[in-house]
Structure 1
Amino acid sequence: MSLLTVNDLSVSFVTRNGTTKAVQNISFSVEPKSITAIIGESGSGKSVSCYALLGLIPQPPGRVDSGSAHFDGRDLLALSERELRGVRGSDIAMIFQDPMTCLNPYMRIGEQLIEPLLVHGVADKTTATARAVALLDEVGIRNPESAMNAYPFEFSGGMRQRVMIAMALITEPKLLIADEPTTALDVTIQAQILRLIKSLQEKRDIGVLFISHDLAVVSDIADQIVVMEKGHVVEQGSPTDIFSGAQHPYTQKLLAAIPSGEAPPADTSRTPFITASNLKTYFTSENSDEPVKAVDDVSLTINRGEVLGLVGESGSGKSTFGRSLLRLTPITSGKIAFDGVNVGELDRGSLKTLRRRMQMIFQDPYASLNPRMTVYDTLAEPLLLHKIVDRSNLDAAIKSLMDNVGLSRAFAKKYPHEFSGGQRQRIAIGRALATKPEFIVADEPVSALDVTIQAQILDLLKDLKDEYGLTMLFVSHDLAVIRQIADRVAVLYHGKLEEVGETASVFNTPTSDYTKRLLAAIPGKTAA
């Protein structure tokens, strides 16, 4: 007998522009002691489906139009709000995508952990505290007694996600819903969290409903995969069925979008273009007399016309290194040479002139784009600032940029919030290309995107690189992406350069133990 059986679930939202059918007549089940994964791009309805089961969609504008969801002998969709409160957090628990927005920044970890036990009357404070400490230890938090007194901001992303898992499990639920729990994590931390969820699921004999947009991630842990597109279930089956015999074109498109892992052929004819020599970028810390050595004595050359992939976990110094090259972050010592020019010795005016030749694509286009500026104004700003075109030729230049990055000219007067994540990233790429730069630092430009949109942006960057003759530093924690786009790979660990070499060489015969650990953590090996 299934732990959860969902039949003909339909959910819609009423807006000023009419009714949007977010989920349409979907059916799936979760078996006891197994993991069911729901896969699909943003907007496919996967999260809405799960939130509807627990009464977590706002009503209005949302509403459940039809369907049933039988769990433990009861139809969740027929329960009152009071009855649902008795189910949420006790029999059914949830791990959300971003722990920082779900953990209360004003409450200590221990207080937040024991709160569900006290609210549901499961245990007194002494018993709840002992259980919380034991659970923090079980999910891999070192010094759990000390962690109980810490605040969320004192933990890394991976540690916060472990706290969220502990919080979800503390009431010993029968069903765990995990909503994109590893999307924003480094590949090694992602692998740890996936192994943790799988081991806890087996140890505690619970059912798991795992929501993700990444087929490679779920391939290693799922017992059943449900594929959703535009509110419909288009295909479902075992991982073997999906990865070896996908029938629906949408599933085949998702599979085709997984980075292939094929490295581009090596080109040994390229000449040095940007050189960092003994580069150090340190930051002072209020909590310590010792500085944070974000980039620690790194020497690295980027050749003209190549894509150098820079990989490492959060805190390894990747982004700081890229910003240091562009002098967006002041360096502590060392030398940066850009096409023979010592960047560190340039005055403000000379640096502004040089900046026309070097640009940056940031990780989060929503944060880096001015919300009060239209696409037109965003693309016009660098063109006018660097006097690349005059007002009479501005329209034609902007239309050309929009064409190059695959944006409809009809979008010119729209604002950033009116676009999807992939479209916003295209705007950011267009802005970076406006000055016709020779060098671009791309800082995690696809990490937050669905796998199919990610593939589109990677293809776009490769095409633009060839068309413009760009040199690129591509920063990422996703090794599968790096392998697909980079000519050479450099690996950073705690601010130091671990190894550097041709992409195929680094992936096939890594010399550093740290690189070997990174490669071992790539998800989806069983699906390959």
Structure 2
Amino acid sequence: MSLLSVDNLQISFSTRNGISTAVNGISFTVEKNQITAIIGESGSGKSVSCYAMLGLIPSPPGRIDGGTALFEGKDLLSLSEDELRKIRGRDIAMIFQDPMTCLNPFMTIGDQLIEPLRLHKNMGKADAKARAIELLDEVGMRSPAQCFSCYPHEFSGGMRQRVMIAMALINEPKLLIADEPTTALDVTIQAQILRLIADLQNSHDIGVLLISHDLAVVADIADQIIVMERGNLVEKGEPKAIFENAQHPYTQKLLDAIPSAERASQEGASDPLIEISSLRTWFYSDNSQEPVKAVDDVSLTINRGEILGLVGESGSGKSTLGRSILRLAPITDGTITFDGTDLTQLSGAALKGFRRRMQMIFQDPFASLNPRMTVFDTLAEPLLLHNIVDRKGLDNAIQRLMDDVGLARNFVRKYPHEFSGGQRQRIAIGRALATQPEFIVADEPVSALDVTIQAQILELLQDLGREHGLTMLFVSHDLAVIRQIADHIAVMYHGKLVERGTAAEIFGSPQDPYTQRLLASIPGKKSLAEPISA
């Protein structure tokens, strides 16, 4: 008997426009000691299917219209809330995608970790603490004993996600539902977490239902892959069959959107636009005499028209380096020369004038776009601030920007919350282009996007780079993305630049041990090693 057997599951939501079908009669199984992966874009119904089985969709507006979900012979869809509560966290655990909204900000990490142990296993406080610290170490937390007493706001997004994974695994459940568990994690930690999940599944006969939008992430560890599109199950099979002989056009589209390794480096004449020499950006804490050396003695040249990929784990200093170049972070020492001008010597009006030539695309467009400003106002602000156009020419300038980033012109009066993640990122790119800059820092611009939307944004950035002659520093922890878009690659580790070369050199013959470790952690290497046939 299967650990979980879902049959003809149907879910809908009541909206202002009537009934919307979210899941349309899907059926699948999860076996003991196996990993079943559900793949699909945002809105495909993959997450809501799992939430419904655990009684976690709001009702109304959501409702289950039909089907069964048998877990060890019990239909989860027919259980009461009290019966489900006994199963959740003990027999079935879930790793949620957004840890910041799931962790209690008023409780320490330790108290939240030991709560399920004491609730479901009646474990003593000392034993529960020891187990919690042990698991924090397993999921890659530095100084786990110290982390035990910290609060969620003291951790980065990736660290909070590791805490959520530890919390889900702490009771060694029979079924683990992992909803995009590695989306915000570096490639090395991502590989570590996926390996940890796979090891626990093997050693404890845990069944795993892994939700993801990225086929490459699940390629090496899944026993079965289910592909969903708009609430329908369109294909399922073993990874080898999916990757080598996908039958459905939607599956083929997902495979085609996986970042390609075929981009050749652009070897043109050396014409430096930005020259960084011995740059240091250090941060000092009131509680410590030792500074945090976010950027530590970095020297780097970026040539005109070049896309330089900057890669490294969280905390390596790559985002701080990008912000430092744009003078958005305080510089401790060193020089940044932009087209012959030392930016470290500029301030006030002189620096403001230079900002027209340098722009930034931030990682989270929802946080960087003003929720009270329409798209028109967002794009108009830099145009008017830098006197690029007057009021008479404003409408035409904004329409050209909308065309450039592939958004319909009639969207200009909408607000950020009315757009998808990919559309919001296009707005952010349009805002960065508004000043007609020569240089752009793109800080993880596709990290939170579905693989197909990610491919669209990467193609857009490449096209805009060629069309406008842009020079770009593209910051990412995703080596596959970096390889697709970058002419040259620089690798950062603990604030230092440890390696630089063409994409072919870095991927073909990495010299630094840290670069070698990053490359070894790329997801999907086994399944992606062979050509994919349609």
Aligned-residue offset at 1:173: 1.6
- Tell me: CA distance 1:93–1:340, structure 2 relative to 1, closer, same or farther (3 Å): same
Query: Distance in 1 between the 2:49 and 2:316 partners?
Result: 37
Structure 1 window deviating more from structure 2 (300-309 vs 322-331): it is 322-331
**TM-score with structure 2 length normalisation?**
0.96
Q: How does 1:10-409 map to 2 (within 5 A)?
A: 10-120=10-120, 122-125=122-125, 128-136=128-136, 138-139=138-139, 145-409=145-409
Query: Distance in 2 between the 1:144 and 1:337 partners?
Result: 42
Query: Distance in 2 between the 1:130 and 1:190 partners?
Result: 25
Q: Contact (CA 8 Å) 1:44, 1:228: kept in 2 or not? A: yes
- Tell me: CA distance 1:187–1:67, structure 2 relative to 1, closer, same or farther (3 Å): same
**TM-score with structure 1 length normalisation?**
0.97
1:238-286 Cα shifts (integer Å, max 9, x gaps): 0011101100000000000000122323313131110111111111112
- Tell me: CA distance 1:280–1:125, structure 2 relative to 1, closer, same or farther (3 Å): closer
Residue 412 of structure 2: aligned partner: 412
Query: Distance in 2 between the 1:403 and 1:414 partners?
Result: 16
- Tell me: CA distance 1:433–1:55, structure 2 relative to 1, closer, same or farther (3 Å): same
- Counterpart secondary structure, 1:290: coil
Aligned-residue offset at 1:105: 2.7
Task: Give identity over the alignment, percent.
Answer: 73
- Counterpart secondary structure, 1:510: coil
Pair 1:506 & 2:511 matched:
no
Query: Distance in 2 between the 1:301 and 1:7 partners?
Result: 58
Aligned-residue offset at 1:139: 4.5
1:366-412 Cα shifts (integer Å, max 9, x gaps): 01101000001111111111111111111111101100100001101
Q: Contact (CA 8 Å) 1:365, 1:424: kept in 2 or not? A: yes
Q: How does 1:422-501 map to 2 (within 5 A)?
A: 422-501=422-501
- Counterpart secondary structure, 1:285: coil
- Tell me: CA distance 1:104–1:411, structure 2 relative to 1, closer, same or farther (3 Å): same
- Tell me: CA distance 1:78–1:300, structure 2 relative to 1, closer, same or farther (3 Å): same
- Counterpart secondary structure, 2:32: coil
| CA-atom RMSD in angstroms | 1.6
Partner amino acid, structure 1, of 2:319? S
Query: Distance in 2 between the 1:251 and 1:143 partners?
Result: 42
Partner amino acid, structure 2, of 1:438? E
Runs of 4+ in 1 over 3 A off after TM superposition: 120-163
Q: Contact (CA 8 Å) 1:285, 1:291: kept in 2 or not? A: yes
Aligned-residue offset at 1:95: 1.1
Query: Distance in 2 between the 1:399 and 1:141 partners?
Result: 48
Query: Distance in 1 between the 2:258 and 2:81 partners?
Result: 41
Query: Distance in 1 between the 2:140 and 2:377 partners?
Result: 48
Partner amino acid, structure 2, of 1:67? G
Query: Distance in 1 between the 2:162 and 2:329 partners?
Result: 32
Q: Contact (CA 8 Å) 1:264, 1:485: kept in 2 or not? A: no
1:439-491 Cα shifts (integer Å, max 9, x gaps): 11111111111000000000000000010000101111111111111111111
Q: How many residues align?
A: 528
- Tell me: CA distance 1:212–1:400, structure 2 relative to 1, closer, same or farther (3 Å): same
Partner amino acid, structure 1, of 2:97? Q
Aligned-residue offset at 1:153: 4.1
Query: Distance in 2 between the 1:144 and 1:104 partners?
Result: 19
Structure 1 window deviating more from structure 2 (139-148 vs 171-180): it is 139-148
